[in-house]
Structure 1
């Protein structure tokens, strides 16, 4: 192998707001016109000229070519119809009508995304969206996501406490897990969507939110394990994206210890924990190794050093294009920064091979593109002498413990 087939397991895209109109069910279009006329987008990066990177297919491919990225898993980014802001962290709808309209908006996004992926079918795997306010609708949309050919799978929203939606460990969600397993739809859980919004007005609100946001997303791992969902559905694949990677080894060790205690006969803790966790057929770390992956944006060197404890075959590197904290325009430098001293076979797995297997990328079909744009093995193996002075990506952050 001369060049690495690089597949970013974490990119973002979406339509320009008014372009969603034709993808809406016709009965919602007139209401959309009125809503869109007064809507003010709160995100500066979605109102400047570079926002077109979300929907301009040719520009997007050109920029990814320069970065050496042959394939991408596409999460949402722009604002869908009838949402107050981006769907990942939007507050829950307050009325049945609001829920209905948001469903219409997400379905429009999923249809748009299928068309967008069809423009470059070999290099794009779109992640469809659902809502959790109506289980039957969610199950139906999983089938629709599969029918649309969105091989990136389904984006599982987080459940914010106090919203009245059952937590992810509730038996309520059993039909959803079964539907995803049966359809072969990957379940993706992205950081930033599971915790309370920083809207209480205190000066420290956003700092606390930034610190806690990954932890809220991590909870889905132990919810799905301790509820027995992964035990009952061994063919269900779950990916935890853009929420770090260094947390995984300690969390798996903690879960392994906990479930041993829960299964010990006659122990007091087992009586408190209840029967489900104590009856698991595998250790939590074994469920991880069988069914779970991390979409590791951006896998800093300090996290890469833990790759064997995480599982080299569980890690999928991500660039987070087109976000400010993403690796562009220094993706090639970011790859050198993290992987220069890592064996070639391990690099190949983490930067593309595993993502190709999880999301169904055809590496043979991508080979001509990789031959043209892919980073060479020699290039990635060359130590980066210095971080680019204007690099804004957290991929280049130093080991925070040593810095402290």
Structure 2
């Protein structure tokens, strides 16, 4: 087997929503209240919804830029590679990196639909989340059969309504839904609260995977403003260690044997120690904590219920027997700065050195296909799904790095980028009250980004 023979399915990528998305899915009575993308006089594109703006249109969507320009930019569609938001260009980029399938987390809405969930008008919030899910399933995924694993966003404020949405989208072929690593971080009850019972039951019965992305509830760890930003980047994936602890000691996983949870962008190298520690704690302390796993260990619960994924994790692959071979999946993380695109096959191949071919297939695509009920081979012949076959379709795709403008996270004279610099850059990345003229160009009307997009 050679690198060109790999079949790659990524279980964690991201989509930057195109400005015309709401036109295709919203009922007419709600279109006037839809989020709209506005091009500001200062050159930025901002989503505006119910008096709030989300200024960073493509947070960390830096694929295709020179590495020197990485950061929490871009802030305008013009600074993005078209594969972020245009479906044809996305398929081209997937082909260029030999990637068959992709599961895409949202950008504008937040991982858990927070932009809508925090609205006081819950009817509006429900309409918008259902519209987003319909767009994602029917348009983004549906326009390219066999190339995407659909992922819904949740109605976090009402677990019963959320359960109904799980069942609704399952009928449309969607068997994955995002959720928070710590719902209390979004103002909702904890994972251990019985209020989530309808949701867990619906997911178990519909075969829907609960996809928990890093930073989805707890956010990123940004404590020491003087520390190098690499500390944050290094430690963020391992933040799911805490979420994994919550999960293996939860009641609901033991209650629903068919329920699956994906730890998205969490890596796998830490898993063997986590399982060892969890088992030690249970064995050492359960007599006084009154935990009862009914003859099982926490590591058994993890391997029965938790799906892991990794970008570039040679240590985890070497310890795949300890991680759990049947639950490991791979991710590309396009278009974020950790992505291995467009050299994803080559980077992964180094980690797979010495791994038997049958195990490679599990890691690269078979596990993802089974857990997420994704069957690309029913649409695309298997021989056309390899890295070799897909790259043959992309010989004309321009992969040269392009400077895209934007603002550097730190001053030119700063010795290195700190967490403080990133906090300052991120301060414009979250919803703030909409101002007619944040760019300071008084009297210049905002132009619809969709009008500008169409015009160009």
If the length of structure 1 is used for normalisation, what is the TM-score?
0.78
Is 1:58 equivalent to 2:88 in the alignment?
yes
Query: For the Cα contact (< 8 Å) 1:320–1:327, is it kept in 2?
Result: yes
Name whichever of 107-116 and 38-47 sits farther off. 38-47
Q: How does 1:235-254 map to 2 (within 5 A)?
A: 235-254=258-277
* Partners of 2:223 and 2:363 in 1: CA distance: 39
Q: Within 2, Cα distance between the matches of 1:200 and 1:219?
A: 17
Q: Distance in 2 between matches of 1:144 and 1:205?
A: 45
2:106 is the alignment partner of 1:76: yes
Alignment CA distance shift 1:180-1:46 (3 Å): farther
Pair 1:285 & 2:285 matched: no
Superposition RMSD in Å: 3.2
Q: 1:284 to 1:12 in 2, by over 3 A?
A: same
Aligned to 2:166: 142
> In 2 relative to 1, CA 91–217 (structure 1 residues): closer, same or farther, beyond 3 Å?
farther
Contact kept, 8 Å, 1:168 with 1:220, in 2: the verdict is no
Establish whether residue 347 from structure 1 lines up as the match of residue 360 from structure 2. yes
TM-score normalised by length of structure 2:
0.70
Equivalences for 1:300-379 in 2 at 5 Å? 300-362=313-375, 364-365=377-378, 368=381, 370-372=382-384, 374-375=386-387
Could you tell me whether the CA contact under 8 Å between 1:189 and 1:240 is conserved in 2? yes
- 2:434 is aligned to none
4+ residue runs over 6 A deviation: 198-201, 205-208
Q: Deviations over 1:344-400 (max 9, x none)?
A: 2221111111111112232533663x5245136xxxxxxxxxxxxx9xxxxxxxxxx
**Rounded Cα–Cα distance in structure 2 between residues aligned with 1:38 and 1:188:** 27
- Residues 218/127 of structure 1: CA separation in 2 closer, same or farther (3 Å cut): farther
2:81 is the alignment partner of 1:67: no
Determine the C-alpha separation between the residues in 1 that align with 2:201 and 2:89.
39
Please give the secondary structure, in 1, of the residue aligned with 2:236: helix
Give the length in aligned residue pairs: 360
Where in structure 2 are there 5+ consecutive unaligned residues?
A: 37-47, 59-72, 389-400, 402-456
Write the distance in 2 (CA, Å) between the matches of 1:349 and 1:33: 40
**Which structure's residues are more often helix, by fraction?**
1
CA distance in 2, matches of 1:161, 1:154: 18
Counterpart in 2 of 1:29?
Answer: 31
Stretches of structure 1 that go unaligned for 5 or more consecutive residues are 81-85, 265-269, 377-389, 391-404
Question: Separation in 2 of the partners of 1:301 and 1:349?
Answer: 16
| Partners of 2:112 and 2:156 within 8 A in 1 | no
Q: Is the 8 A contact 1:231 1:280 kept in 2?
A: no
Distance 1:216 1:102 in 2: 29
Question: Relative contact order (alpha carbons < 8 A, sep ≥ 6): 1 or 2 greater?
Answer: 2
- Contact 1:70 1:366 (8 Å CA) reproduced: no
